[in-house]
Amino acid sequence: MMKNGFLFLLVVLLAIFPLYLVNDSEFGGADGEAEEQIGEIAPDYEPWFSSIWEPPGGETESLLFVLQAVIGSLIIGYIFGYSKAKYKANVKRKDVAH
């Protein structure tokens, strides 16, 4: 139990420490960086299509990204949990049969 608490505290510190270490920087997304690089390489580049909907602010975009990550994590966690439970049930069934 003590080991899990220590590991949890370590993960929290690893997540918070960089925020205090880097004070005056702006964290940008990969999309913005890619757009900037394309603009430098080929200034006359025309995008193939435009966004259907632009979120009203950066907070909404971040919220949608986090929501997507949570839903994906839940699906992956469910698949792993289901597979493990199914494996345990099969092992238990084989033990009972023999």
Quote the tokens at residue 40: 């430098």
Q: Taking 90 as the threshold, does the pLDDT of residue 79 lie above it? A: yes
Q: What is the spatial distance between Cα 71 and Cα 79, in angstroms, rounded to a whole number?
A: 12
Q: Give residue 53's pLDDT.
A: 81
Q: What is the spatial distance between Cα 1 and Cα 4, in angstroms, rounded to a whole number?
A: 5
Q: Give residue 72's pLDDT.
A: 95
Q: Give residue 85's pLDDT.
A: 95
Q: Taking 70 as the threshold, does the pLDDT of residue 23 lie above it? A: no
Q: What does the pLDDT look like over 24-71, one tens digit per residue?
A: 666 666 777 888 899 899 989 888 888 888 878 777 888 888 999 999
